[in-house]
Amino acid sequence: MSDDSQVPVEAFDPPYYVAVFTTVRTQGQSGYRETNARMEELVREIPGFLGIDHAQTPGGLGITVGYFRDADALTQWRTNAEHQTAQKRGRAEWYERYTLHVAKVERSHGFVRGAQQADR
């Protein structure tokens, strides 16, 4: 896992799972940063968590992709009580709209200039 927000999460040997959370936020963001930081801290404690990527467009569309080794790790994250509380607050205060897509990754590869990469 990389903590550098300018480096994408590496390609892992499949299969693994991704949760793609796409959002448009409201104007009221009180407490969002602190809660988001806490959620990242919590998810990193889950065995089987592989990493997280974030992107935000200038127009306000946000995309967060969480990577999980197996469905059990993803379920542990989905059912975490503190995460569920944050989800409720997000619907009440922070999100104008969102979508969540969960998928099983069957193929993965990466590229780093000057390094050799192979399809997985």
What confidence tens digit (pLDDT) does each residue in 52-74 have?
A: 999 999 988 999 999 999 999 99
pLDDT in tens, 20-34: 999 999 998 999 999
Q: Is residue 51 a contact partner of residue 2, using CB atoms and an 8 Å limit?
A: yes
Closest CA to 70 of 95, 102, 101, 109: 102
The architecture (CATH level 2) of 16-105 comes to: 2-Layer Sandwich (3.30)
3-state helix, strand, coil in the chain (%, to 5): 30, 30, 40
**Structural domain spans, the chain:** 16-105
Tokens of 77: 């994250």
Q: Which residue has the higher pLDDT, 7 or 5?
A: 7
